[in-house]
Chain A
């Protein structure tokens, strides 16, 4: 079956949002859906900083829908974008 690594870019609703706290909420909601393997802040432009996360999920039915709707539902999240995706060896 295998696993898939997806890198998401999470943009906050405003530049005032605390990304550390946002990161904690991301970990909370991801629990049980996928494994977060990396998280980092990524400066974008004009004070806006995104949160990049890398999630490992199984290559099976349902795919990334569950994790994406969980991430999108977090308070303070403006949008969730797939930056990259690959099956793992």
Chain B
């Protein structure tokens, strides 16, 4: 039987809002927790004279299991819906992991934002919503969780309040509500995850599982022009220059000319290898090495991006970006020159101007040309790299348009490129 289409699903939201519980619940209800784990908890339950289902025990069992169960090749929890199979990334809560989310994880096709209904939107919710946007995740399911813990339980009024609060936040960062599905759940009790809840007669919408089935597969980035950020460059005896990297968009093929920017070198791809085996083309997500004629090891370096000669990667004189300040000890003003981590490049860039400060409640411009921005602020800034750098508009190439801003050994901000001024 042909395998179902695959989707990368990232779970975001405050760590105490029940993300793990929702993941655990979906795994259990879709039959993806190993039977021996379920049997084990049943035995324990019976031994203690409790025949009833105790979901918390399953979560504990999963925790124990992971100590033994993890291998490098099967890193992810996965489950199937009717239409898709999903692999899950659960986003870390602390903002110090943002750089890794931006430069390291594979492209997420959709996100599940978990917001606990008793608490509502919190600072980490805001950070993660911004992060999802920066990662170029267009489709979002908002699971308003812990509905069993509202006062009174399963309160429609509370659901609507949190839904409105979350919707406003999403609009702020530019989400279109057509691509967002809000629904009430209790991951702990199971309400509305795979079966409609008997406790929420007022809710006439779809379940979590149906919402997952309603997602659409994003267009494959193989149709776009080639973009391959260079991770490292080797020389191999008898082979020549071998750049190594991951294809982000487009297709890399032998016997084609490619251009490395900003080094501005053209070479011809001869052979491509993946896992030491020759392949006829490399597609998005493939980690490859390839030998390239006409380019020496010293001509190109990490941070260069390979692309077609007739549609080369964009080298910018300056660019406009939307950023969120995650953690800065004081304030950011024009002239600030931290290091931008974008694809494999690390380039010091000067904040030339802070053009707009955005109101996190409405998404409107709060202040034109503010003197400074600080932790928690979202803003539009103009940036000038101190040396040549490739960055693309995030809407054209999300993987090459997002960045983390680092200073003093910390991630101070994250953002995405919204416009470029070419060099």
Binding site for B on A (CB under 8 A): 1-2, 4-7, 9, 11, 14-15, 37-40, 42-49, 52-54, 59-65, 78-79, 81-89
Q: Which residues of A contact B94 (CB under 8 A)?
A: 59-61, 63
Q: Which of B68-112 contact A (CB under 8 A)?
A: 70-72, 75-77, 88-94, 96-97, 99-101, 103-106
The verdict on A63 contacting B289 (CB below 8 Å), with A7-B75, A40-B72, A82-B104 known, is no
Q: Which residues of A contact B66 (CB under 8 A)?
A: 88-89
Q: Is the CB of B90 within 8 A of A89?
A: yes
Q: Is the CB of B100 within 8 A of A85?
A: yes
Give the residue of B15, B20, B106, B291 whose beta carbon is less than 8 angstroms from that of A89.
Answer: B20
Give the residue of A1, A14, A85 whose beta carbon is less than 8 angstroms from that of B234.
Answer: A14
The verdict on A63 contacting B92 (CB below 8 Å), with A46-B239, A82-B103, A85-B101 known, is yes
Best-surrounded residue of B91, B100, B273, B302 (most CB of chain A within 10 A): B100
Give the residue of A5, A45, A62, A81 whose beta carbon is less than 8 angstroms from that of B96.
Answer: A62
Q: Which residues of B contact A63 (CB under 8 A)?
A: 92, 94, 96-97, 100
**How many residue pairs at the A-B interface have CB separations less than 8 Å?**
138
Interface presence of B365 (CB below 8 A): no
Interface presence of B23 (CB below 8 A): yes
What is the minimal beta-carbon distance from A33 to any residue of chain B, in angstroms? 14
Binding site for A on B (CB under 8 A): 15, 19-20, 23-24, 59, 62-63, 66, 70-72, 75-77, 88-94, 96-97, 99-101, 103-106, 231-232, 234, 236, 239, 242, 244, 272-276, 287-291, 302, 409-410
Distance in angstroms between the alpha carbons of A60 and B289 in the assembled complex: 35
The verdict on A48 contacting B100 (CB below 8 Å), with A59-B93, A63-B92 known, is no
The 4 closest A-B pairs by CB, nearest first: A82-B104, A45-B289, A63-B96, A45-B273
Q: Which residues of B contact A59 (CB under 8 A)?
A: 15, 92-94, 97
A-B contact pairs, 9 of them (CB 8 A): A4-B92, A38-B70, A48-B244, A61-B96, A84-B104, A85-B100, A87-B93, A88-B66, A89-B62
The verdict on A54 contacting B92 (CB below 8 Å), with A63-B97, A64-B100 known, is no
Q: Which residues of A contact B232 (CB under 8 A)?
A: 11, 78-79
Distance in angstroms between the alpha carbons of A52 and B234 in the assembled complex: 18
Q: Is the CB of B105 within 8 A of A84?
A: yes
Q: Is the CB of B100 within 8 A of A11?
A: no
Q: Is the CB of A5 within 8 A of B276?
A: no
Q: Which residues of A contact B106 (CB under 8 A)?
A: 84
Q: Which residues of A contact B272 (CB under 8 A)?
A: 45
20 extra A-B contacts, CB within 8 A, seeds A44-B288, A86-B89, A86-B91? A5-B75, A7-B72, A40-B72, A43-B276, A45-B288, A46-B289, A47-B276, A48-B236, A49-B276, A52-B72, A54-B72, A63-B96, A64-B96, A81-B231, A82-B100, A82-B103, A82-B104, A82-B105, A86-B88, A87-B20
